[in-house]
A and B are shown apart, each in its own frame.
Chain A
Amino acid sequence: MADGLIQHFGVYPCWHWLVYLTVGLVQAGLLVAMVLLSVAVCNWMERKVSARIQDRLGPTRAGGRFGWLQSPADGLKLLCKEDLMPAGADRMLFRLAPYISFCAAFAPYLALPLAPGWVVQPLRTAVFFMLAVTGLEVFGVILGGYASHSKWALYGAMREAAQVVSYEIPLGLCVVTVVLATGTMDLVQIADAQQGWFWHWHLRNPFLFGTFWIYMTCATAGTNRAPFDLPEAESELVAGFMTEYSGFRWLIFFMAEYTTMLLLSLLAAILFAGGWNGPLPLAGWLGLSADNGLLAAWLGDALGACNLLAKGFLGLTFMMWLRWTLPRLRIDQAMATCLKYCVPLACAMLVGTALWTFGMRGGFSGKAEKEDRGADNNVQVTILNSQFAILPGPALAPRLMPEGGRNP
C-alpha cells in the first residue's frame, strides 16, 4: 500500500520513511481498534449469553435497557483498581508477562485477511505464521504464573503449559488437513477456493466437517475456556495463573484471551466456512468485484469483511455456549480428550481428506493422473535446471536427471 502511495504521489525519496510510518501506524491503529472493540463486545456478549443460558437478564442498567455500556464501565472500574504485586515476585517478569501474552495474541492479526485485499501483511505462509505466533501466548501465562511467587499461580501455569502444548498438536493437524485439501498456506487462496454458495465451503467434505469440530474443541482448550479452563479453575486454584494480578494488568490477560478466541474463530471461518464467501454469493450478484472498478471492489471487500466478522462472532457465541453449558473437566479427562480422542481423530481426518482430495481429482479412476504428471515433470525440470545452472560445467545437468529427458 505504501509503495502504491509513493508511486501515485511521486514522493521524494527522503520522505519515503514518513509514508511507510504513516501507513503502518494507520493499519496498526485500525487493527488495534477492531480488536479492542471486539473484546468490548465480547465481554458484553459473554455476560448476556451466560445470563440468558442461566435464565437471568444480565446487565440491564449501564447504558440503557440492554446494558450496552457494561464494557466501558468494567474497563473504568479496572483502571481505578489498585495495582498490586506480591512481595516475593520477580518484578520484571511479573510486569512483562501480560504484555507478552497480549502481543502474541495480537500479532497474528497482521497476517489475517479480512477480505481479499484487506490484510496488513500478505504472507504466502500466513496460516503457519499465525499458528507459530499464537502458540507463544502461553509463554506470558507461564512467566506470569512463575513470577507471581504463589503456589496457586504456579499450579495454574503448569496446567496451562501441559494443556496448551498438548492441544497444539491436534490443532496443527487440523490446519494441516485444510492445507492438504487446498494445497496452499495462503489464507486468501484457502478462502477463495470456497467461492460461491455455502455448499462450496470446505465443510461439504465429510472429513473436513469432522476436522472442524476437532478444531473447535482444540481452540476452546487452547484459549483456556470452560470446559477446559483448568489453568484458572476457581474452585481449586483461586484464579490460576492470574491469581496475583489485579486491575489493568489483569485486564490485559483478559483481553489476550478474548483476542485469541476471536482470532481462532476467524481462522475457523476462513479455513472451513468460506471466509468472506458468504452462504449466498451476494457480492457476485451485486457485481462487487474488481472488474467493475475500484469502488465496487472496495465495497465487495467491505461486505466480505463484515461477513467474516459475523462468522467469527458466531464461532465466539458457540464457545460461550459451550462454556456456560458444560461442566469443567478434570485434568486427566482434559489430557485424555486431547491425546486419546483429538489426536487420533485428527490423524484419521488427515488421511481421509487426503484420499477424498485424491478421489475428487479423479485419482482412483486414473483420469487426472496424466495431466498432473505432465505438469509436475515440467516443474521438476525447471527446478533442476535452476539448481544446476550455477554449477561448474552446465553439461552436468542432463546426466544427472534421466527422468527429465522423457518429459512430454
Chain B
Amino acid sequence: MSPILWHSVFFVFLAALACAFAVAVVLAGDVVRMAFYLIMSLAAVAGLFFLADARFLGAMQLMVYVGGTLVLLAFGVMLTARGSLSSMRSGGGQWILAALLGGLLLAVLLQTVVPLGMRERDSPLPATEKSARSPAQGEGPSPALTTQLALGLLGVRTEPLCAGAAGPTPPPAPAYLLVFEIISVHLLVVLVGAAYLARATRPRTKEEALGIR
C-alpha cells in the first residue's frame, strides 16, 4: 500500500480554499465582505507558500498582501464607502463581458500551467510549482531551482540542461514570460477599473440620487 500523498492533499485543499474565496470576492455584494474574502484568499496563498517550504515568501505574503488589504479595508473602504459603493451590483451585460474576459485570461494561464504538469513527470520540480500563483520561491530546496524559476519568468527554460541534456534536444518549452506580462497588464487594467469606479458620478435616475444620499 503506497502512502497517501499528504503534500498533494494539503496543496489541493489550500488551492481550493484560495480559489473558492477568490470566487466569493466576485460574487459578494458588500464591500467589506469582499475585502474579507480577498484577505482569506491571499492568506490561503500564503499557506501554499508555507507548504512549498518558502517560509520567507509566505511571511512576506502575509505582511505585504494581507496586511496591505487590511489597510485598504480600513482606510480605503470604510472611510469612503457609502451609498453606491458600499454595495456593488453589476448588470447582466457587465457579467457576460467580465465572464468572457476572465475566461480568456484563465485559458491563457492554464495554457502555461497544464503543459508544466505534463512535463514535470520527468523533471525534478516538486508538485507545488504547478500553481500559477506561486511561480517564484523564497527559500527553495536548492538555489538552482529558484534560479531556474526566475529564468523561467524571463523566458528561459533550463530543465533540459539541468537534467543533463544527452541525446536529441527537446523542442523549447514555453516559459512563464507571457503569463508574467499578462498579469502585469492585468494589474494595469485593474487600476484603470478602480479609477473608473471611484470617479465622481452624476446620478442618472432619481433612485440612484436617493441611494447616494
Q: CB-CB < 8 A to B75: which residues of A?
A: 161
Q: CB-CB < 8 A to B2: which residues of A?
A: 13-14
Partner of A17, one of B6, B56, B143, B161: B6
Given contacts A138-B70, A387-B147, contact A146 B78 (CB under 8 A): yes
Cβ–Cβ contact B39 & A93, under 8 A:
no
Q: CB-CB < 8 A to A139: which residues of B?
A: 39, 70, 73
Cβ–Cβ contact B63 & A132, under 8 A:
yes
CB-contacts of B72-90 with A (<8 A)? 73-75, 78-79
Q: CB-CB < 8 A to B30: which residues of A?
A: 90
Cβ–Cβ contact B62 & A93, under 8 A:
no
Partner of A90, one of B33, B66, B70: B33
Q: What's the tally of chain A residues with a CB closer than 8 Å to chain B?
A: 38
Q: Tell me, yes or no, whether B32 is within 8 Å of chain A by CB.
A: yes
CB-contacts of B145-162 with A (<8 A)? 147-148, 151, 158, 161-162
Q: CB-CB < 8 A to B55: which residues of A?
A: 123-125, 129
Given contacts A125-B55, A161-B75, contact A390 B62 (CB under 8 A): no
Q: Tell me, yes or no, whether A218 is within 8 Å of chain B by CB.
A: no
A125 to B138, CA, bound (A): 11
Q: Tell me, yes or no, whether B1 is within 8 Å of chain A by CB.
A: yes
Q: Tell me, yes or no, whether A165 is within 8 Å of chain B by CB.
A: yes
B176 smallest CB distance to A (angstroms): 16
CB-contacts of A232-277 with B (<8 A)? none
Cβ–Cβ contact A136 & B67, under 8 A:
yes
The chain A residue with its CB closest to the CB of B156 is: A391
Q: CB-CB < 8 A to B71: which residues of A?
A: 161, 165
Q: Tell me, yes or no, whether A135 is within 8 Å of chain B by CB.
A: yes
The chain B residue with its CB closest to the CB of A154 is: B78
A145 smallest CB distance to B (angstroms): 9
Q: Chain B's interface: helix, strand, loop or mixed, by majority?
A: helix
A125 smallest CB distance to B (angstroms): 5
CB-contacts of A366-408 with B (<8 A)? 383, 386-387, 389-392
Q: Mark B16-49, 1 if CB is under 8 A from A, else 0.
A: 0000000000000010110010010000000000
The chain B residue with its CB closest to the CB of A13 is: B3
Given contacts A125-B56, A128-B56, contact A135 B63 (CB under 8 A): yes
The chain B residue with its CB closest to the CB of A15 is: B3
A259 to B139, CA, bound (A): 30
A389 to B55, CA, bound (A): 26
A324 to B109, CA, bound (A): 58
Cβ–Cβ contact B63 & A131, under 8 A:
yes
A68 to B58, CA, bound (A): 42
B106 smallest CB distance to A (angstroms): 28
A391 to B1, CA, bound (A): 41
Cβ–Cβ contact B3 & A16, under 8 A:
yes
A135 to B75, CA, bound (A): 16
A249 to B193, CA, bound (A): 39
Cβ–Cβ contact B59 & A389, under 8 A:
no
Q: Mark A116-156, 1 if CB is under 8 A from B, else 0.
A: 00000001110011011101101100110011000000100
Q: Tell me, yes or no, whether A158 is within 8 Å of chain B by CB.
A: yes
A90 to B33, CA, bound (A): 9
Cβ–Cβ contact B147 & A132, under 8 A:
no
Cβ–Cβ contact A93 & B33, under 8 A:
yes
Cβ–Cβ contact B1 & A14, under 8 A:
yes
A97 smallest CB distance to B (angstroms): 10
Given contacts A129-B59, A390-B147, contact A142 B33 (CB under 8 A): no
Q: CB-CB < 8 A to A129: which residues of B?
A: 55, 58-59, 62
CB-contacts of A1-57 with B (<8 A)? 13-14, 16-17, 20
A366 to B147, CA, bound (A): 36
A20 to B62, CA, bound (A): 26
Given contacts A142-B74, A386-B147, A390-B158, contact A135 B67 (CB under 8 A): yes
Q: Tell me, yes or no, whether B4 is within 8 Å of chain A by CB.
A: yes
Q: Mark A148-191, 1 if CB is under 8 A from B, else 0.
A: 00000010011001100100000000000000000000000000
Q: Tell me, yes or no, whether B144 is within 8 Å of chain A by CB.
A: yes
B2 smallest CB distance to A (angstroms): 8
- Besides A129-B62, A133-B59, A158-B78, 19 new A-B residue pairs in contact (Cβ under 8 A), listed by A number: A14-B1, A93-B36, A96-B36, A124-B55, A124-B56, A128-B59, A129-B58, A132-B63, A135-B63, A136-B62, A136-B70, A139-B70, A142-B73, A142-B78, A161-B70, A165-B70, A165-B71, A390-B148, A390-B161
The 4 closest A-B pairs by CB, nearest first: A161-B74, A132-B63, A132-B62, A13-B3
29 residue pairs bridging A and B, Cβ less than 8 Å apart:
A13-B3, A14-B2, A14-B3, A17-B3, A90-B30, A90-B32, A93-B33, A125-B55, A129-B59, A131-B63, A132-B59, A135-B63, A136-B62, A138-B70, A139-B39, A139-B73, A142-B78, A146-B32, A146-B78, A147-B32, A158-B74, A158-B78, A158-B79, A165-B74, A383-B143, A386-B144, A390-B144, A390-B148, A390-B161
